[in-house]
Structure 1
Amino acid sequence: MKNRVAFVTGAGQGIGEAIALRLAKDGLAVAVADFNQETARQVAEKIIKHGGKAIALKVDVSQRDQVMEAVEEARRTLGGFDVIVNNAGIAPSTPIAEITEAVVDKVYNVNVKGVIWGMQAAIKAFAAEGHGGKIINACSQAGHVGNPALAVSSSSKFAVRGLTQTAARDLAPAGITV
């Protein structure tokens, strides 16, 4: 049976960690990607301790080159590429009257651009493997309902929903499920 490989961003803690652990339990090799190298390493070690296969990768999802390189490293090291979970995100609490350009840029660079870069890296990896794959973009309930003091984060998650719906239609002919 072919080794199945998943790449999970924001996997060093919280929901991302839970996703990585579950994918490993389901038999996938997991690239644990996080901005924090130490927490990524700890999660990868948990997976390995329980008999799974994993690597830890430090990646800033707001940086396209880092995402492209990390996905390629995961593909080479783990022996394939089947799933990406674009889970990394930030949600600073900022009342609307206090939102700054710096806050908007930081949130959108991580939450929106990070998803775009992840999808692009996955498309390239699927093509290199000669098959389609799965792209999962986490947008949380904040992508469905605006939340008090989280206007920037919520609006970024609405953007992720739009990207996801568009990508699903655009990528279906290539055998990629979004």
Structure 2
Amino acid sequence: MAIDTTAPAGGQKVALVTGSANGIGKAIVQKLAADGYAVVINDLEANKEKAEAFAAELKKQGHKASVALADVSDFEQVKNMVNSLDRLDVMVANAAVVAPVDFITDDHIDGWQKTFDVNLKGHLLCYKFAAIKMIAQGWGGRIIGASSIVGRKPEPGRMTYSATKWAIRGLTQQAAFELGKHKITVNCYAPGLINSELAQQYMASSPVAAEMMNAVINTSAVGRIGEPEEVAALVSFLVSDGAGFITGQTVSIDGGIVFT
């Protein structure tokens, strides 16, 4: 869905955040709107009502907001979503699914394909079409992805999810290497356990999942779960002018679980 701004580079900047009808994505949209961006809320058709209600709430607050429904794992849907925008300055590839608890010795790979399609292919498509549009615009931009602490440090039962998050780090570095000459920076954030719907669903999926997540909290330096607004604050900095010399990086925001 096109944003109602046709301003050139000096006009209002536009930020698209995928998977943003709730959770971390919603907090990122709220923060970027407060920072002065015209925001595009992306989510699946199934979350249309949530996305539209969120957009209406932002408009009441005086922000520019619109909804773009698309499945990030679908090539044509992502291409059409990005191309429908009058301009794009920030792409935040936040959408993700969490695979069920799985181990390398399991006699199945249930959830493997869907998790890779959404998490990794989804990032590739968002990076790809955002980059094409930003290059055509000619004034650069910011691309942000979503890795995880399990993209830095293995945890029991996270085989599939971890594999996608490690791969996102590599994809981010490659994209940063290719796009720097176009004044486009590419970075990603690596959250620990964050108080979001996705984390709550995972913890409720099995006693093993809940036990593992509680162990993560207990081993962190700050000893608590993080909040979506804390991740949003990091993204706000990474897309700011002050972060123009930062690219190809994965920034941990995990309360001190992984020290790098």
Q: What's the counterpart of residue 20 of structure 1?
A: 29
Q: CA deviation at 1:99?
A: 6.8
The 5 A counterparts of 1:1-150 are 1-35=10-44, 36-73=47-84, 75-76=85-86, 80-96=87-103, 97-98=105-106, 100-150=108-158
Asked if structure 2 preserves the Cα contact closer than 8 Å seen for 1:91 and 1:150, the reply is: no
Distance in 2 separating the partners of 1:138 and 1:43: 21
Q: CA deviation at 1:101?
A: 4.1
Q: CA deviation at 1:56?
A: 0.8
Q: Give, as a single letter, the amino acid of the residue that structure 2 aligns with 1:89.
A: A
Per-residue Cα deviation, 1:67-118 (whole angstroms, up to 9, x for no partner): 1111122x22xxx210000000011222214474451110000000000000
Q: Tell me the percent identity.
A: 38
Distance in 1 separating the partners of 2:180 and 2:138: 15
Judging by fraction of residues, say which structure has more helix: 1
Distance in 1 separating the partners of 2:55 and 2:29: 9
Question: Alpha carbon RMSD of aligned pairs, Å?
Answer: 1.4
Asked if structure 2 preserves the Cα contact closer than 8 Å seen for 1:10 and 1:34, the reply is: yes
Per-residue Cα deviation, 1:104-137 (whole angstroms, up to 9, x for no partner): 1100000000000001110121133222110001
Q: Give, as a single letter, the amino acid of the residue that structure 1 aligns with 2:19.
A: G
Question: SS where residue 40 of structure 2 aligns?
Answer: strand
Task: Give the number of aligned pairs.
Answer: 174
Q: Give, as a single letter, the amino acid of the residue that structure 1 aligns with 2:55.
A: A
Q: Give, as a single letter, the amino acid of the residue that structure 2 aligns with 1:158.
A: W
Distance in 2 separating the partners of 1:65 and 1:169: 25
TM-score where L is the length of structure 1: 0.92
Distance in 1 separating the partners of 2:129 and 2:175: 13
Unpaired stretches in structure 2, ≥5 consecutive residues: 1-9, 187-260
Stretches (4+) displaced over 6 A: none
Distance in 2 separating the partners of 1:128 and 1:140: 31
